[in-house]
Structure 1
Amino acid sequence: MEEHVGQLWHRLITRAAQQRHPQAAVALDEVATPIGVFFRALGGDGGLQVQPAEATDYRGRRSLLQRVAGSQRKVRLAWRDEQALRLPPAIDWFDTPALNRDLYFWLAALAATPHDLTSHWVLRNQQLCRVALQRFPGLRPRYRRLLEAHLAQRPDPGRLPAAEAEQERLLQQALREPGAVGTFPTARREPWPVPLWLHPSPPLVAAATAADPGEGNNAHEGGQKELENEGRRRAERVDKPQEDRGLVTIRMENIFSWSEYVKVDRSTDDEEDLDQAADAARDMDTLSVSRDDKPARGRLKFDLDLPAEANDDSVLNDGLLLPEWDHRKGVLVPDHCRISLMSALDAVPIELPEHLRPTARRLRNQFSLLTPGRQWLRAQPDGSEIDLDAYLRYAGDRRAGIQAHADGLFRDLRQNRRDLSCLLMADLSLSTDTWIDNDMRVIDVIRDALFLFAETLSSVGDPFALYGFSSRKRDPVRVHQLKDFGSRYDGRTRARIQAIKPGYYTRMGAAIRYATRELERQATETKLLLLLTDGKPNDLDRYEGRYGIEDTRKAIIEARSQGLQPFCVTIDSRGNDYLPYLFGRRGYAVIHRPAQLPRTLPMLYSRLTGA
């Protein structure tokens, strides 16, 4: 009974203290795609993705009801960092969905304008507002609507202490006339949040505490669990705590309440359940990170799932060194990645799997029209037969006394060729071990797609090569040679395709650069580079987030400068968020039903080659 009454009281007091409008809320998921397009159209960084922002502490004045209810202790505001444009997961500041939706677009416009985080947040946001309204006059009616609605919500300066009242008056003046306020005083409490502006002090990037280049990253080589839709977390670097410290005294005034306590000092081998670690991380506003080279059971379990060296593909060479793009420094780092070319040399030749034969037969029939035919070439200097038309013209000119040359009197029957070559590079990272059906994994879908793609192109006669790739840091990047341009498609190639298995991670830029080198050697006019993947570029080291995206984009630009046509085929449902920045608006295709990939891939090839 007491618990039931407590729940009723909590709902009642929380509703009474609520100053938002949940009935008019607009979720970020509803507007993420148009917001991304709008942000980039206004000149925003194309490499940034739209992601949810986490709640941050609010230390301003709260009403009595809010203090009783324990609400309004955190606030979600927008900001932009190196990785993403971060917007609130939902906006319910206003009582109409139209205004809440307008606020999303206004915040995207502010974030599209370059700004300096070192300046005071009031001066910085005034400058952003002024520049946005000058560059995009069409936003002025939207801003006026938002401003009127927001000013009606702000506290009355007459009811605040002197210092806070002065802050409030200046803030309202800055909102009405961006740029009018040159200095901003301090007060004991923070001012009421300004949802029309970007975050005063964006959270620190947790990635800043990652391993420095060149240092060991053993702590990352094990099992991982991603906190989805949680935003970035504030982090701090601390010394590794001593596990056996004996009796530790605690100053009681440092313990605010039992509900705020979370066990954060945990050793590397006491957390078998990664779900429990994820729950603990969600409860912490600040993550304290320290270095620890001690292996954990989660990581050992992760590594044991990978192929042993005795059962792995054979290494074909000592490795090829390739550069990598460092977007922070703006330089191409030479000899940064090592490509290790591998192949299943002991693969026993096999036939096409039974379940693919009907589809392969149907595709071969459909593509039979693309098979180059034989054609008579006339007026040739030599050939298998006399060209009667050319000979009659020659004889008539001679009889009429016209000078004629006997250098094109033959015809020859020759085989036509489509002047193109294609290299398909398939992502064989560990994520391909994911199940997409009760009896099928991503790697199974990729394997079937490679089978049908090879069957189709071998029937057409176009030169093609098949490779797979995965990586474990920059050395080595494993490239599995399934079929090169110089070999036939036969039972041994099918055996290599059958032998593919999930590998490590996805260092996409290095794989594209290797494929570019192979395609450059082909003496064809059209060179198509197909990338088949299930996710974004990533690896154990700093090749994560923006770094991997920028390196991949640079590799694609390099490939295009060499006359290649890169095209990406992905089964990642979020591919539309980042692939336009990498491959361009028409340089990729998202397959929303992965099981359709094997039948769709040959048809995409037909479309790309203009057949």
Structure 2
Amino acid sequence: MEEWVGGLWHKYITRKANPEFEEARVAFDEVSKSVGMVFRALGGDSVKRVEAASGREYLSRKSFLQKISGDTQLVSLAWQDEESLRLPESLAIFNDKSLNYDLYIWLAVLASNHNGRFSHWATDNQTLVVNILEKFPALRNRYTRLAQAFVASRQPIDTLPHTEQAMEQAIVNSILTPGSVTEFPMVNFAPKAVYLWLYPSSSSEETVPPEYQDIEEEGQEEEKQKKSVKKSQTSRKEAERVDSPDERNGMMIFRLESLFSWSEFSKLDRGSDDSDDDDDMSSTVEDLDKITLAKQQEKQKSAQIKIDLDLPSASEDDIPLGEGIKLPEWHYKKQILEEDRCLLQPMLPKDAKAEKLPVRLQKISKLIQAQFEQLRSVRYWLKAQPQGEEIDLSAWLDFHVESKITPSAEKGLFRSFRGNNRDLSCLLLADLSMSTDAHLDNDNRVIDVVQDSLLLFGEALQSVGDNFAMYGFSSVKRHNVRFTMLKNFNENYTDHVRGRIQAIKPGFYTRMGAAIRQATQVINEQKSTEKLLLILTDGKPNDIDHYEGRFGIEDTHNAITEAKRLGIKPFCITIDTDAQTYLPYLFGSDGFTVILRPEQLPLRLPQLYHQLTSQ
């Protein structure tokens, strides 16, 4: 009975202490597409993800009811870092749903014109608002509505403690008249959250501890890293890296330059805490507001050993061809192309032997070949030519009749035999990373679909007589980019090639930039007028070193730009349902297609090639 009454009391007092308007709440999922479009259309970084931000601890003064209810004051605020823009999970600060929606749009506009860095939070936000309103005068009415409604929703200044009134007055003035306030007093509590402004990221920019560094990277500049733990598909946890102390004591006086106050330190050994209980780990993460990683005092060797064991032994590995090829890689923070950064190793599939086309694909292959017949080189006669291989009897007869009636100038009396040759080369580059080992159903994996696609692609292009090559790629760090040769431009499509395709296996990671640069060099050596580079993948660029997130995306973008500069047309076919978040930046809006049903890929790949080359 006591527990039941206590539960009712908790629900009641929590609801009373909550100043938000539930009936007007707008969730991030409802506006995610709109705010993403606004963010990128007005100049926001096209690579950044736009996602929800989980609540963060915010040290402001509690009301009497909040103290009774035990409200932890987790506040979901708008902020961004180098990889993503985080907007509140939901907004219900206004009693008008349209205002809450407009606030999401306003925050996206602010973020599109700001780099995420602050020297003084309040002053910089005022300057940003002033610049936005000057740049986009049509937004002035929307901002005025939001500002007036927001100020009206805040606690009256005269009801605040005397020591906090000056700060609140400065906040109100800076909202109503942006740029009018230059000094903000120092107080013991942060002002109530200012939802009309962006907040700084709380992630610390610590360098990676030596025990997490790649052994091959010693002597080079340490890369900066950020750690985040995924709460859900749309919400991310706050993260920071700190020293590993025994105790944390002391008080903090609030300044606007340092908005966030308390966080709980969790000593976590990422080198050895590899629990297999995913459910327990997920529930623990849900309960944490911030994940804090500390530099370990003891050097962990186990993590390095696990990484090394990912590579197969020499007796089980594919067959290397030569000593490898050194390739550059784009460092987006330095904005330079670092020479000889990667080592690409050409390889042949192990135990590949000549194989016929599988019986299950033969019927489909004949149908595709029939569709490609119309792309064959067509030979035809040009009539009424001044010179040619044969006399054009029809033109001669017309001239003879006209000359009997009236003097006529001699016209073309010959016909010439011409051929319409398809002068193009195509290189198909297939992603063979470990993610292709995933099962689509009980019988098929992604790698099986990729194999069928390559086989049918080869049958189709052989029937039309086009010049083509096929390669696969995967990677384990920058010194082991594996480039699997399935068919080069100088060999025919035979049973030996079919055998190589049927011998491929899921590889490792996806260092796409290096593979595209090598494919670009290969196809650029062809003498064809048109050159098409098809990239078949199931995910975004990644690797187990620093080649994650923005680094991999920017390097791949640079490699694609290099290919386009050489007159090569890159086109991407992917089965990644999240591809819309990064492929438009890499290939352009018309440079890729998403196959929503992977099992359709074997049929769709030849059809896409037909569409790309039939014009």
Q: TM-score of the superposition, structure 1-length normalised?
A: 0.87
User: 2 CA distance for matches of 1:136 and 1:114?
Assistant: 15
CA distance in 2, matches of 1:70, 1:319: 63
Q: Distance in 1 between matches of 2:34 and 2:13?
A: 37
User: Bigger CA drift: 167-176 or 117-126?
Assistant: 117-126
Match of 1:314 among 301, 311, 319: 319
Deviations 1:93-138 (A, max 9, x none): 2233322221111001111113573421110110111111111112
The answer to whether structure 1 residue 501 and structure 2 residue 505 are counterparts is yes
Q: Indicate whether 1:369 and 2:374 are aligned.
A: yes
Question: 2:239 — aligned with what?
Answer: 234
Separation in 2, partners of 1:322, 1:263: 41
Distance, in Å, in 1 between the alignment partners of 2:155 and 2:595 is 51
The corresponding residue for 1:294 is 300
2:221 maps to what in 1?
none
Instruction: Using the TM superposition, give the Cα deviation of residue 15 of structure 1 relative to its aligned residue in structure 2, in angstroms.
Output: 1.5
Q: Is 1:421 aligned with 2:425? A: yes
Query: Paired residue for 2:438?
Result: 434
Q: 2:153 maps to what in 1?
A: 153
Counterpart AA for 1:425: L
Distance 1:599 1:119, change over 3 A: same
Who is 2:593 aligned against?
A: 589
Give the C-alpha shift of residue 206 in structure 1: 7.0
> Partners in 2 of 1:392 and 1:125 — Cα distance?
83
Q: Distance in 1 between matches of 2:564 and 2:549?
A: 23
Q: CA deviation at 1:33?
A: 2.4
What does residue range 358-397 of structure 1 map to in structure 2 within 5 Å?
A: 358-376=363-381, 386-387=390-391
Q: Equivalences for 1:211-360 in 2 at 5 Å?
A: 215=215, 228-229=232-233, 230-238=235-243, 264-266=267-269, 268-269=271-272, 271-273=274-276, 275=278, 276-282=280-286, 283=288, 285-291=290-296, 293-296=299-302, 300=306, 307-344=312-349, 346-360=351-365
* 1:267 Cα deviation after fit: 7.7
Q: Which residue is equivalent to 1:171?
A: 171
CA offsets, 1:148-172, max 9 Å, x none?
A: 2211211111011122111111111
How far off is 1:90 after superposition? 2.1
Does the 8 A contact of 1:262 with 1:280 survive in 2?
no
Q: 1:453 aligns with which of 457, 462, 475?
A: 457
Determine the structure 2 residue equivalent to 1:101: 101
**Please, which of 555, 559, 566 is the counterpart of residue 563 of structure 2?**
559
Between 370-379 and 538-547, report the one with greater CA deviation.
370-379
- Aligned residue type for 1:584: G
Give me the whole-angstrom Cα distance separating, in 2, the residues matched to 1:261 and 1:443: 44
Amino acid at match of 2:201: P
Q: How far did residue 482 of structure 1 move? A: 0.8
CA distance in 2, matches of 1:28, 1:253: 37
Residue 356 of structure 1 and its aligned partner are, at CA, apart by 2.3
Amino acid corresponding to residue 364 of structure 2 in structure 1: T
User: What is the CA–CA distance in structure 2 between the aligned matches of 1:456 and 1:251, rounded to whole Å?
Assistant: 68
One-letter code aligned to 2:79: W
SS at match of 2:190: coil
1:3 Cα offset (Å): 3.9
Give the Cα separation in 1 of the matches to 2:438 and 2:587: 25
What is the CA deviation profile of residues 295-354 of structure 1, one whole-angstrom value per residue up to 9, with x for unaligned ones?
448974x87676443222111121111111111111111111111111126411112223
1:51 aligns with: 51
Q: Distance in 2 between matches of 1:154 and 1:286?
A: 31
Is the alpha carbon distance of 1:188 and 1:250 closer, same or farther for their aligned partners in structure 2, counting shifts above 3 Å?
Answer: closer
Q: 1:116 to 1:353 in 2, by over 3 A?
A: closer
Structure 1 CA distance for aligned equivalents of residues 105 and 460 of structure 2? 47
* Equivalent AA in structure 2 for residue 505 of structure 1: Y
Residue 435 of structure 1: CA displacement? 2.1
Provide the rounded CA distance (Å) in 1 between the counterparts of 2:183 and 2:250.
37
Q: Which runs of 5+ in 1 are unaligned?
A: 219-223, 242-248, 255-259, 397-401
Q: Aligned residue for 1:474?
A: 478
Q: Residues 214 and 545 of structure 2 are in contact (CA less than 8 Å); yes or no, is this contact kept in structure 1?
A: no
Q: 2:554 aligns with which of 544, 550, 556?
A: 550
Instruction: Please give the alpha-carbon distance, in whole angstroms, between the structure 2 residues aligned to 1:210 and 1:558.
Output: 34
Q: Could you say what secondary structure the match of 2:315 adopts? A: helix
Match of 1:533 among 537, 540, 547: 537
- In the other structure, the counterpart of 1:127 is 127
Q: Which residue of 2 aligns with 1:399?
A: none
Does the 8 A contact of 2:230 with 2:237 survive in 1? no
Cα distance between partner residues in 2 of 1:153 and 1:102: 16
- For the pair 1:202 / 2:206, whether they are aligned, the reply is no
Q: Which residue of 1 aligns with 2:489?
A: 485
Whole-angstrom distance in 2 between the partners of 1:65 and 1:381: 99
Q: Please say if residues 470 and 505 of structure 1, whose CA atoms lie closer than 8 Å, have aligned partners that are also in contact.
A: yes
Q: Which moved more, 1:125-134 or 1:588-597?
A: 588-597
Distance 1:228 1:382 in 2: 74
Q: Secondary structure at the match of 2:582?
A: helix
TM-score, structure 2 normalization: 0.86
CA–CA distance in structure 1, aligned partners of residues 369 and 468 of structure 2: 16
Task: Quote the offset at 1:553 in angstroms.
Answer: 0.9
- Indicate the SS of the match to 2:153: coil
The 3-state SS of whatever aligns with 2:104 is helix
Return the alpha-carbon distance in structure 2 between the equivalents of residues 422 and 368 of structure 1.
18
Tell me the secondary structure at the aligned position of residue 440 of structure 2: strand
How many Å apart are 1:142 and its aligned residue? 1.6
When residues 190 and 608 of structure 1 are mapped into structure 2, their CA distance, relative to the original with a 3 A threshold, is same
Query: What is the alpha-carbon distance in structure 2 between the residues aligned to residue 507 and residue 266 of structure 1?
Result: 27
Equivalent in the alignment of 1:11: 11
Alignment check: 8 A CA contact 1:465 1:485 kept: yes
Provide the rounded CA distance (Å) in 2 between the counterparts of 1:138 and 1:115.
23
Task: Provide the C-alpha distance between the structure 2 equivalents of 1:322 and 1:267, rounded to a whole number of angstroms.
Answer: 32
SS in 1 for 2:95: coil
Shift of 1:225: 8.9
Partner of 2:34: 34
Residues 528 and 251 of structure 1: CA distance in aligned 2, closer, same or farther (over 3 Å) = closer
> Any idea what SS the aligned residue of 2:343 has?
strand
Report the CA distance shift for 1:227/1:421 in structure 2 as closer, same or farther (over 3 A). Answer: farther
Q: Aligned AA for 1:326?
A: H
How big is each residue's C-alpha offset from its partner over 1:455-504, in whole Å with a ceiling of 9 and x where there is no partner? 21111111111111111111111111111111111211111111222211
Letter matched to residue 364 of structure 1? Q
**Aligned-partner Cα distance in 1 for 2:109–2:248:** 48
Tell me the C-alpha RMSD between the 2 structures. Answer: 3.6
Q: 1:216 to 1:57 in 2, by over 3 A?
A: farther
Q: Structure 2: how far apart are the matches of 1:299 and 1:194?
A: 48
Give the SS at the match of 1:437: coil
Inter-CA distance 430–19: structure 2 relative to 1 (3 Å threshold): same
Once the two structures are superposed, residues 429-474 of structure 1 have per-residue CA deviations (whole angstroms, 9 ceiling, x without a partner) of: 1122222323222222222221222221111111111111111111
Q: 1:115 to 1:493 in 2, by over 3 A?
A: closer
Contact 2:203 2:240 in 1 (8 A): yes
Q: Any idea what the Cα deviations from partners look like across 1:201-249, whole Å, max 9, x if unmatched?
A: 321157854778765689xxxxx9965444253222435x9xxxxxxx9
- Please report how far the alpha carbon of residue 88 of structure 1 lies from its aligned counterpart in structure 2 after TM superposition: 1.6
TM superposition shift of 1:507: 1.0
Are residue 604 (structure 1) and residue 608 (structure 2) matched? yes
**Is the Cα contact below 8 Å between 2:317 and 2:350 reproduced in 1?**
no
The sequence identity of aligned pairs, in percent, is: 43
Residues 1:568 and 2:572 are matched in the alignment = yes
Tell me the residue number matched to 1:515: 519
Q: Distance in 2 between matches of 1:287 and 1:37?
A: 33
